Each structure stands twice: as structure tokens, then as C-alpha cells.
Amino acid sequence: METVAENRAFGGVQGVYRHGSEACGCDMTFGLFLPEEARDGPVPVLWYLSGLTCTHENAMTKAGAQGWAAEQGIALVFPDTSPRGEDVADDEAYDLGKGAGFYVNATQEPWAKHFRMWDYVAEELPALIGAEFAVDMERQGITGHSMGGHGALTLAMSLPGRFASVSAFAPIAHPSQSDWGRKQLGAYLGESGWEAHDSTLLMRERGFDGPVLVDQGGDDQFLELLKPEALAEAMAARRQEGIFRMQKGYDHSYFFVSSFMEEHVGFHAEALWAK
């Protein structure tokens, strides 16, 4: 593992690291913020999964999460959103290929060789971080924005007991019924396996064994693609422990994410420190 950069931030360290990924068959880069408390021993960890077109860097520099994480004494992980490299398949469209891994294991060509983001985020990167840094892997939460909100919700519901809490900002909530989903799931998975990557269907089927927080901007320009009402209805029908909030006037940008980041970090910290 190579240290790309380490910067002092809010009493802790914001690092960027690169490593060879067996899951993705290429070098992968991730960000990790460790609060000051990590000097004395392992701290709880919150995963942040980013959206379409993003790298590890977008949320790391725009979400304003480190200050709130430092207050709560928890670590933050910012994985990349897809494999990278000259030999990695790509598409001219912004919503397929590099920057658009959708947190699935692709089974279709030309994607299957490298696009194994589910294995990377669920298994490989947690094992690496748990071995190399002072984080408590028994206390994990997960959040994300847009495509990353989709990833956070599906991972949380598919890995019972792994995460103490899950939240999402404007998640792609019903991808099997949206053009942000049918296109990507069809390309990566073919005609089957979509149900395992649709948070509305997972919420209807099994729910989450902990608290859920979802924030959606009321003026989001992508509402028809996100389909938040489907997830809200599924949460209500299941009587899922959680909160779904429609935030009046907010759009899909990082201005929206950063506006509610303090509350999301606090939500996770409460669950993580109670575990």
C-alpha cells in the first residue's frame, strides 16, 4: 500500500492511499480520515460511498464531514466509485463505466474483468483498512450520495450485522424501475440479479436490522430517476426503524449533502458508540 498524501485536519489526519486490488484487478485509491483518538486505539468507522462521475476525492473535499467526524471521534472511509486504468473498460456516457461502478460485481463483458465493486467495498477494502489502521471493524456505519446512497442501502441490507446504521443522501432508490439502474444493471449483470441491488425491493423483502436515515432534496433535478417515493413507501409498509425526510428547496449537489452532513455523522455516531 502506498501513501499518496497525509494532511493534518481537525486534530486528526486525512490520508489518501493507493493499493493493488485483487477484486478489481487494478490499482485503487481511497481516502481515510482518522480522528485524533485513533492515536490511542481503534475508533468506529463510517463509510461514505460517492455517486456517478465521482472519485474518492469529491466527498473528501466537498462534504465537510471531517470536522463532524472529529467531534464524534470516528473515522471516515472514502472509496473510489469504480476501477481505474488504461485497460479498464469504459463507455462514452457519464453514467456507465469508469466513475459508475454501481457497487455491483459485473458478470457481463467487457465489464466482468474489473468491475467487481461489491467485493471491493464489502470485503477487500474493509480487510485492508482493518489490518493497516486503528479502526474498530466491530463498529461500522455506512452512508452515501446518489449512486453511493444506492450502494450504502443495498450493502447494509444484504450484510446483516455488519453495519450498526445506514443513511443516504438522495439515493437511487428503485434502480430496476429507473433509467439510472436499468441501463447499468443490464450492462453489468445482464437480465438477472437486479433484485439484490434495488434498495426498495430489499426494504420490502428484508429491511435493515438497525436505524435508517434518508434525506432527499425536494428540488432535486433527478427526482424522476431517483424514485424516492418508492423507498419511502417500502419503509412505511415494513415499519422500518428510521426517518425519511424531504428537504424543501434542496437540489442534488454537494451543497445539499454538506448542509445535512452534521446530522448524518451524529446519527451514525450515536449508533456506533452505543454498540
Identify whether 215 is a catalytic site residue: no
Tell me which of 21, 50, 146, 167 is the catalytic residue.
146
For residue 250, give the C-alpha cell: 434542496
Please report the beta strands in the chain, taking only residues with DSSP state E, as ranges in sequence order: 2-9, 12-21, 26-34, 43-49, 75-78, 135-144, 165-169, 212-217, 242-247
Our CA angle for 229, 167, 182, nearest 5°, is 50
> Strand 43-49 relative to strand 135-144: parallel, antiparallel, unpaired?
parallel
Helices vs strands, H then E, count in the chain: 10, 9
Identify whether 146 is a catalytic site residue: yes
Tell me which of 174, 220, 264, 268 is the catalytic residue.
220
- Is the peptide bond preceding residue 110 cis, with omega within 30 degrees of 0? yes
Identify whether 220 is a catalytic site residue: yes
**Which is nearest to 97 in space by CA: 85, 108, 111, 112?**
111
Are the CB atoms for 38 and 6 separated by under 8 Å?
no
Amino acid in position 246: M
R_g over Cα of the chain: 17
Burial bucket for residue 151 (CB in 10 Å: 0-12, 13-18, 19+): buried
Please list the active-site residues: 146, 220, 252
